[in-house]
Amino acid sequence: MGSLPYIVLLGDVGTGKSTMVEKLTGVSGRSSAADESFTLTSEVYEIYDGSLIICDTPGSNAMNDKFQHNLHIAHAMNFYPVTCVLIIVKADTRMDNVVDRVRAYAEGFLPEDLPIELIGVCVTHMDTVQWTGRHLLPNLDNHLGISSAVFSTLQTPRETLRADIMREIARKRPIPMSIDSNMFLRLFKISNSNLKVMRDVRKEIGRFEKMKQDFYREKSRLSPNLQMNMTFEFQTWVHEEIIRAQKWLSERNNFTLSFGPNMENEVGHIANMTNQLRKVLSDIRVEASKYHRNVDTNFRKCPHCPAIWQKIEGCDGATNCGNRPSTATDIWSGEMSTFSFTWNTSTEQLIVRQLGARSVPSASAGNRSGYGAGCGKPITWSEMAPVEVDLQFDIPPISTNDLHSLPQAARRNWNEAYETALSGLRALKINRVKR
């Protein structure tokens, strides 16, 4: 295979993935006009001129056997370092629908999961719509940050299609991938369309969105320092609440999460809910990251004692170690607090309570130091050594990798089922074309 680019096609049933492969390789019998997915396994091919390797995959949204179809896609991604996951979308009269389909796939490629740079877009069946690529690209860029795409019709010459794909991947670099059981659930949706379960999932998603709105409302009423405290504590509470939601969905729908014919759907529904709730947690952690970025430039150490200080007010000049801020900005006067968060099921509202407030008596105006902190010796802020951020602040603030897609009790069974199924797939090989 050498250094040839490796392209994995990803898309819905009937978008034209296999038709593209037939055109680029010269093979036949891959595509079909059937209502259900005709491609059941992944197949790797060298294209007609030997310039790249392309992998045809089953439709990710197949009506039946979703787990098996997406397992074959993961198998293809694990086969060789991937230069591009090319999302194949069928042109639609409404451009919004095309953008939505690209979004549905691209959102699985969060930077913490897979680099967004890995994805590309190809819109097929362009001969069936009135708009052109020039009309779609601004919408892809504005909504998804995707500024380029490949466009094709049934009449597009294979040389043109190949050249367009090569331009699309010109700046991409191959990335080795290893999709394990947890990553699989973050990338692929394998649940069925059970209306009762889907209704419960939508209910939980709506609850978390409402909690986030209530959080922002309550937070806006607080002082800046309390806003920071509340944000850090709320993100922890949301993480724990998602774990409780996983258990709630399982108990409400009598999921056993054990080996059997229902395991894939049960696991898929919990993972689908978790993936959507993960976005809420990510939003809160992005909010918390704003405070992380400010922390390491605002702490300095006294040259005479171990005390570490943050400048709340004043200039960069001289003062004494331990001097208190003025009453107006004294963050130690009643603002060292923690919060409790409760969801009221009757009013469907987040209840936030401030707990454990601690107040330190203010020093007199004539003596602003010596209240039990600091050594009282002269210091000059601009000359004090900045303090490295503690390890607790080094955690990537927008990562949700600590949130598993499944409850603890279900992970062992799912890991075993996934690994067994993956190992049972036929080993992939490159089908060479005669030139």
The pLDDT of residue 324: 63
Neighbouring CB atoms inside 10 A of 245's CB total 21
Task: Provide Rg for the chain, Cα atoms.
Answer: 28
Q: CB–CB of 231/288 below 8 Å?
A: yes
Query: Average pLDDT over the chain, rounded to whole?
Result: 83
Sign of CA dihedral 256, 260, 262, 267: positive
Q: What gap in Å lies between CA 148 and CA 123, rounded to an integer?
A: 11
The pLDDT of residue 37: 45
User: Quick one: what percent of the chain has pLDDT higher than 70?
Assistant: 80
The pLDDT of residue 268: 95
* Residue 197 confidence (pLDDT) above 70: yes
Least confident residue range of 70-74, 258-262, 357-361: 357-361
* Residue 396 confidence (pLDDT) above 70: no
- Write the pLDDT tens digit of every residue in 93-139: 999 999 999 988 887 665 566 677 888 999 999 999 999 999 999 99
The pLDDT of residue 388: 60
- Write the pLDDT tens digit of every residue in 2-43: 689 999 999 988 899 999 999 999 887 655 544 444 567 899
The pLDDT of residue 385: 80
Closest among 59, 151, 143, 60 to 96, alpha carbons compared = 143
* Residue 364 confidence (pLDDT) above 60: no
* Residue 222 confidence (pLDDT) above 60: yes
| Domain layout of the chain by residue ranges | 6-179
Quickly name the fold that domain 6-179 has. Answer: Rossmann fold (3.40.50)
